[in-house]
Amino acid sequence: MRLIKALVAMVLGLVVLIGAVLLLMPTERIANIAAQQFEGTTGRSISFGGAVRPSFYPVIGARAQNVAIGNPDWAGSDPMLTAEEMDIGLDVVALIRGDIQIERIVLQAPVLHLIRDASGRGNWELGREAAEPSAGTEATRTRQVSLSEAVIRNGRLRFEDAQAGVDLHIEALEAGLRLPALDGPADLNASGRLNGQAVAVSLSTNNTVRFLEGGITTLALDLEAAGATITYAGRAGLDGLVAEGQMQANIPQPRALLAMLGQQGGDVPDDFLPLGLTGQVTRTQDGRLFARDAQFRAGAVRLAGAVDLDPTGARPRLTGQLAGDVLDLRSADGGGNGQAGTPGWSRERIDASALDMLDAELSLRLAGLRTDATTLGRSVVGISIDRSRAVFDLREVAMFGGTLAGEFVMNNRSGLSVGGNLRARGIDLLPLLSELADYRRLQGAANADLQFLGVGNSVHDIMNSLRGEGALRLSEGEIIGFDLAGMLRNLDMSYMGEQNRTVYQSVTGTFTITDGVLRNEDMRLEASRFSVTGQGRVGLGQRNLDYRVVPAALQGPDGETLRVPLMITGPWEAPRFRLDLEALAQERLRAEQERLEEIAREEAQRLEERARREAEERLQRELGVSREEGERLEDTLRRGVEEEIGSRLRGLLGRD
């Protein structure tokens, strides 16, 4: 990294200049020559606002006060570096033989201001390179450089990056560096406050020169920042910040960590904090991250697998395959379905901002899933997130003794909406309704198909805006809390209570949903001794009922067929049952009207038959014929007419 190399060059330049002339000249001349040589080497001005005093014991060196190193013209007139005091100590024997063995460098209250402009220029980039041996000069030996101790006390650093939009402030900086040999290992320990957040770092590498030149070296890092802890052991290089090694991270609050780096965002619901990672991590030069054999943590969530994070596009993109045991996503307050003391759906705002953090394409396998709304068994789910819209492909979900499949969608692009196309088979209704709606009056196995869409920023809003359609079939169950057959057969509403049951063989029906209201017109319940039909509405948003049940085949005590409608109304928690007496009176009136109409029809038929017989007998007498067995009436009458006409003709002719 050019920044680190430039700073090292500055320090070494000062060390060489001060050390070389320390024994030969007065301190004022030392300061002037050092300043001239430093400016000639680096292109930057240096000044000493206070005294420059030599030291001879225990090491040879100098102590300068009020040191300032200037900026290039484009970076402004303020210095790049100031320090109240700079203390340098050298090993004189090593210096005589041509090596630089620094015993100490101590900077008291330094202030370093680093700037990179929009074009990418950095004020730490030196105007001239340090003198190198000419082409005709052959270096006899490689100069050895070592640093026993470098210390910064109570320093401050500011880094302004116009390209990245970053403005970092480090205060109360305390640092220590040990460098036995420039081409050997190095150890750095530092602490301070970065943008108001406490930071402590410990770093070691096996080859300092290679590391500073951007090459790949062995690296160990321990970092504590804004409450987060990160450890890394592996290989890394400064050019492109490439890395490959074992990493462990624990991040209690991503927002605080990003704010420390001068960035916004990182809002994660408290239920999914802290974040954690353990595994083999690789970072490429273009910023892509790969995690293998990794363990991920988000609050109580634990997942293992492999993921890739690509930040190079318009939005970060996460892909991978993950697996976990039973996943617990329940919130700390249990996700109550209403306000305290008030039945109904929760009006608390749903925080779906996490959908905007990144895009994703994940495959997830779980042994189970617990949420505030429900509990699932073995699940295989595909998760796709694109610009705040998440699609959950339910490939295999075990749920309440049955299976659930289909697609569930959460869209937070312009306000939250949820929808889906779901197919449920063999679902045990009692635990399902108990968990989802606190309703414990229906037992049986259900097959259902459901298409739905709801909009709103709370469960209350979503449930009251639902629209869709579906079909339902229940088999071999019971309705708990009332005996429907007893109520209808005896016209008695006392057949209620936990000891009463309505046992059924099947319940079928289709429905539509509009504005949170489910409407059904074709419900049919079949039981061993009776059947009923039903129609009405179920308020999914308001959690109430307005439903009418009519017996289709129910025998009363006297054997007559009963058609007494039963009305079910009121809230889910305490529904009310009453007989529709007006409908009962209308049914009685209709039955009596049908009876009288039947009597009238029978009497009319009897009179008609009697009149017909009398007419036949009279005609037969007048024609003087009798109806023979098997002969039609028309034939008998025709024969009588023919005989009468023949008799009259014979009388006219006087012949027989």
| CA atoms 268, 272, 277, 281: torsion sign | negative
C-alpha closest to that of 153 among 111, 192, 113, 109 = 109
**The two structure tokens encoding residue 515:** 């504005």
**pLDDT, tens digit, for every residue of 99-123?**
666 777 888 999 999 898 888 788 8
% of residues, the chain, pLDDT over 90: 30
For residues 614 and 321, the model is more confident at 321
C-alpha closest to that of 518 among 484, 487, 541, 491 = 541
DSSP annotation of 328 reads E
Examine the pLDDT at 137 and tell me if it is beyond 60.
Answer: no
Examine the pLDDT at 341 and tell me if it is beyond 70.
Answer: no
Q: For helices 27-42 and 2-21, give the axis angle rounded to 10 degrees.
A: 150
**pLDDT, tens digit, for every residue of 557-567?**
555 555 678 88
> In angstroms, rounded to a whole number, what is the distance separating the alpha carbons of residues 8 and 105?
12
Q: How far apart are the first and last CA of the chain?
A: 150
- Ranking 337-341, 365-369, 442-446, 588-592 by mean pLDDT, the lowest is 337-341
- CA-CA-CA-CA torsion for 544, 548, 553, 557, nearest 10 degrees? 90
The string of DSSP letters for 306-318 reads: EEEEE-SSSS-EE
- Going by C-beta distance under 8 Å and a sequence separation of 6 or more, which residues neighbour residue 161? 116, 167
Cβ atoms 372, 390 nearer than 8 A: no
> In angstroms, rounded to a whole number, what is the distance separating the alpha carbons of residues 387 and 413?
7
Name the average pLDDT for the chain. 79
Cβ atoms 174, 190 nearer than 8 A: yes
Q: Is the peptide bond before 110 cis (omega within 30 degrees of 0)?
A: no
CA–CA distance from 337 to each of 382, 459, 490, 497 (Å)? 28, 8, 38, 25
> What pLDDT shows up at residue 636?
66
For residues 476 and 187, the model is more confident at 187
CA–CA distance from 230 to each of 41, 94, 334, 387, 479 (Å)? 39, 39, 32, 30, 57
Mean pLDDT of 72-97: 79
> What pLDDT shows up at residue 531?
83
> What pLDDT shows up at residue 289?
93
Cβ atoms 379, 397 nearer than 8 A: yes
- Ranking 3-12, 301-310, 312-321 by mean pLDDT, the lowest is 3-12
Residue whose entry in the numeric block shows the structure tokens 């029809």: 601
For residues 349 and 97, the model is more confident at 349
Model confidence at 219, pLDDT cuts 50, 70, 90, reads: very high
Mean pLDDT of 51-71: 76
User: Residue 558 — φ and ψ, nearest 5°?
Assistant: -90, 10
Examine the pLDDT at 218 and tell me if it is beyond 70.
Answer: yes
Examine the pLDDT at 339 and tell me if it is beyond 50.
Answer: no
Cβ atoms 416, 458 nearer than 8 A: no
Helix or strand (DSSP H, E) at 465 = helix 459-465
CA–CA distance from 59 to each of 17, 28, 413 (Å)? 16, 20, 67
pTM of the full structure = 0.65
C-alpha closest to that of 542 among 521, 567, 520, 517 = 517
Examine the pLDDT at 136 and tell me if it is beyond 50.
Answer: no
Determine the 3-state secondary structure of 479 from DSSP: strand
> In angstroms, rounded to a whole number, what is the distance separating the alpha carbons of residues 489 and 482?
13
User: Residue 147 — φ and ψ, nearest 5°?
Assistant: -140, 105
